[in-house]
Amino acid sequence: MPVQDNYFTPFKQSIDLYDLPQRFTFPFYYQPHPLCELAVEELQHYLETYTGWQHNFGLTGDLDTAVGKMFGVLLVETKEGEIGYLSAFSGKVADSNHHLHFVPPIFDMLQQGGFFRTGQDELAQISTQIKQLEANPDIVNYELSLSEEQVSASKEVQAHRASMILARKDRKERRTHAEATLNREDFLQIKEALSKESIQQKNQLRDLNLYWDERIQYAKSRLYSLTNGITALKKQRKVLSHSLQQQLFDNYRFLNKSGGYKNLRDIFKETAQQIPPAGAGECAAPKLLHYAFEQGMTPLAMAEFWWGESPKSEVRKHKHYYAACLGKCEPILRHMLEGISVDDNPLLNNPAEGKSIDIVYQDDVMVVINKPAEFLSVPGKSIEDSVYLRMRQSFPSATGPLIVHRLDMSTSGLMVIALNKEVHKKLQKQFINRTVKKRYVALLDGLLTEDEGLIDLPLRVDLDDRPRQLVCYDYGKQAKTKWQVIERKDNQSKVYFYPITGRTHQLRVHSAHINGLNTAIVGDDLYGQHAERLHLHAETLEITHPITGEPMQFQLDAEF
């Protein structure tokens, strides 16, 4: 394990001409400070030239085994007043938590002789025991035998019950006949005989149930003699695994500016999920801040970037900057940044302020508008201003939900608005039935080699980092997009998108994902790189008028 006294890195060049940040970076939406960009440039050069570890980032090795990583830098001021930076990576690199130049983990779960490795070894031994016991072929034989006994018992008992029903019916007929044809003494004798027959059949049923109960219990006892040990081991493994997890939560203790520690269990018990997600505390940002506070350094700004091949589910581009994830890092960083002056959250600013909505078409029952970029379709958690609010203000007598379909906040273009409930229902049905024809135009940040195609990548929300979407073949919803190149210029491609489905961020993910076009839309601050706007525009819309039934086509050229 590399041992290093100080992970502080001074800049290789003079930074006298740089202004220091006035406040710390808002970690969940930011543009890197120039000094962070300089630090990243130096760190990336280090990554390109360092040969001290063997890790396949996918830059030169086998892509099937490639594992890209998130790296981070933290601009700091030391107690002596020197400005420099710290470096960190998320998770492990080359199966290790410790590497020269990178701050150590908050808790090293891989430490030899530590409780986690010891517990993992114990869990592995239990799992091996379970696997060995489950491999006993007699288990399958005894399960089959038990099943056969249960089936046979059920058949015989059911057959006997059926015969009892027929016999009961026969006795009733004989009793009725005897009562009508015999004298009282002979009738009482027949009645007694019939009662004995009934008792006899009930006793036979009792004996039959006892017989099969004994056989089934014997079959179960043979099976349980082999499986009880497995059940006990599984219970032991579950208890040990839970205990190990709780110990981990307690040992991940995060320091803040005031010297206060808080562990994972306490941090996440105040959140909606209550239980820390997998990997919480292993990201670069908490590692960097924790080390800085331990060493008495003052954090000034931070930036994180991806290095290597993108994962198959997420969109991650080599050398691109990314915000800290909300699900894992937001509760942790909220504690760690207490008492530090942080940049304002730009997501709380109203992006629609000062913008107006142009009406493209209007009649008594519907409106077609041009939604500006960076304008919410419906009110958000903290911002009410939206297409919905503006339409409600412009058409106060309108009834119903108004919004028939949505565009992403950053997407501009055509939207149709219904002015009453009946029209809303009819228009929405057209979208649900996919009879509406839509065409988007987008500018992609690269040159596509093919001219057209179909992208079929199922999508679901990233539960750890909403609203980002993941490609997921297990739980994702079907998402299909036809595309066509219309122009190539200045290392960019202008394309038409024809979405067959309408999933959240569908066009953005299908553009940027490695198995899609692998080329992000210009200005996509979630899946690509920030620009003055997202270059995605809903250009054409073809619908049927909800009242007249006439086909309607609208086209609105993009500003880019």
For every residue of 392-419, DSSP letters joined together read HHH-TT--S--B-S---TT-EEEEEEES
pLDDT tens digits, the chain, 560 residues: what are they? 455 668 999 999 999 999 999 999 999 999 999 999 999 999 999 999 998 888 999 998 788 889 999 999 999 999 999 999 999 999 999 999 999 999 999 999 888 889 999 999 999 999 999 999 999 999 999 999 999 999 999 999 999 999 999 999 999 999 999 999 999 999 999 999 999 999 999 999 999 999 999 999 999 999 999 999 999 999 999 999 999 999 999 999 999 999 999 999 999 998 888 899 989 999 999 999 999 999 999 999 999 999 999 999 999 999 999 999 999 999 999 999 999 999 999 989 999 999 999 999 999 999 999 999 999 999 998 899 999 999 999 999 999 999 999 999 999 999 999 999 999 999 999 999 999 999 999 999 999 999 999 999 999 999 889 899 999 999 999 999 999 999 999 999 999 999 999 999 999 999 999 999 999 999 999 999 989 999 999 999 999 999 999 999 999 999 99
Would you call 554 helix, strand, or coil by DSSP? Answer: strand
Task: Look at residue 112 and tell me if it is in a domain.
Answer: no
Task: Look at residue 113 and tell me if it is in a domain.
Answer: no
φ and ψ at 209, to 5 degrees? -65, -40
Compute the distance between CA of residue 27 and CA of residue 326 in angstroms, rounded to an integer.
9
Task: Look at residue 429 and tell me if it is in a domain.
Answer: yes
Q: Indicate whether 396 and 510 sit together in one domain.
A: yes
Q: Judge contact between 391 and 367, C-beta under 8 A.
A: yes
Task: Look at residue 430 and tell me if it is in a domain.
Answer: yes
**Is residue 21 reached through a cis peptide bond, with omega within 30 degrees of 0 on the bond before it?**
no
Question: Residues of 358-390 as b/e, b for ≥16 C-beta within 10 angstroms?
Answer: eebeeeebbbbbbbbbbbbbeeeeebebbbbbb
pLDDT digits (tens, 9 = 90+) for 349-394: 999 999 999 999 999 999 999 999 999 999 998 899 999 999 999 9
Residue that is last in its domain, among 315, 347, 379 = 347
Would you call 74 helix, strand, or coil by DSSP? Answer: strand
**What is the residue-averaged pLDDT of the chain?**
95
Handedness of CA 46, 48, 51, 52 (dihedral sign): positive
Q: Indicate whether 360 and 342 sit together in one domain.
A: no
CATH of the domain at 498: 3.30.2350.10
Q: Is 344 exposed, middle or buried (0-12, 13-18, 19+ CB in 10 A)?
A: exposed
Provide Rg for the chain, Cα atoms: 35
Q: Indicate whether 141 and 86 sit together in one domain.
A: no
Give Cα separations from 273 to 67, 277, 329, 386 (angstroms): 28, 8, 13, 29
Q: Global pTM?
A: 0.84
Show the tokens assigned to 60: 């030169």
Q: Indicate whether 373 and 484 sit together in one domain.
A: yes
**Which residues are registered as beta bridge partners of 443?**
494
Total of domains in the chain: 3
Task: Look at residue 102 and tell me if it is in a domain.
Answer: yes
Compute the distance between CA of residue 512 and CA of residue 112 in angstroms, rounded to an integer.
41
- Residues with catalytic roles: 408
DSSP one-letter code for 521 = B
Task: Look at residue 124 and tell me if it is in a domain.
Answer: no
Angle at 477 between CA 474 and CA 483, to 5 degrees: 115
Q: DSSP H helical segments within 99-136, as ranges?
A: 115-134
Residue that is last in its domain, among 322, 347, 372 = 347
**Which residues are registered as beta bridge partners of 86?**
74
Task: Look at residue 478 and tell me if it is in a domain.
Answer: yes
Q: Supply the range of the domain harboring residue 284.
A: 9-107+253-347
Q: Judge contact between 331 and 321, C-beta under 8 A.
A: no
Task: Look at residue 4 and tell me if it is in a domain.
Answer: no
Q: Indicate whether 406 and 528 sit together in one domain.
A: yes
- In 264-354 the beta strands, taken as DSSP E runs, fall at 298-307, 321-322
Q: Is 559 exposed, middle or buried (0-12, 13-18, 19+ CB in 10 A)?
A: exposed
In 10 A of CB 16, how many CB atoms? 5
Residue that is last in its domain, among 309, 326, 347 = 347
Compute the distance between CA of residue 475 and CA of residue 72 in angstroms, rounded to an integer.
31
Q: DSSP H helical segments within 351-386, as ranges?
A: none
Q: Indicate whether 237 and 321 sit together in one domain.
A: no
Q: Indicate whether 208 and 316 sit together in one domain.
A: no
Q: Indicate whether 96 and 214 sit together in one domain.
A: no
Residue matched to tokens 């909606």: 272
Q: Indicate whether 257 and 243 sit together in one domain.
A: no
Show the tokens assigned to 146: 């038990």
Q: Indicate whether 533 and 485 sit together in one domain.
A: yes
Q: Indicate whether 335 and 399 sit together in one domain.
A: no
Q: Indicate whether 163 and 53 sit together in one domain.
A: no
Helix orientation angle between 115-134 and 184-251, rounded to the nearest 10 degrees:
150
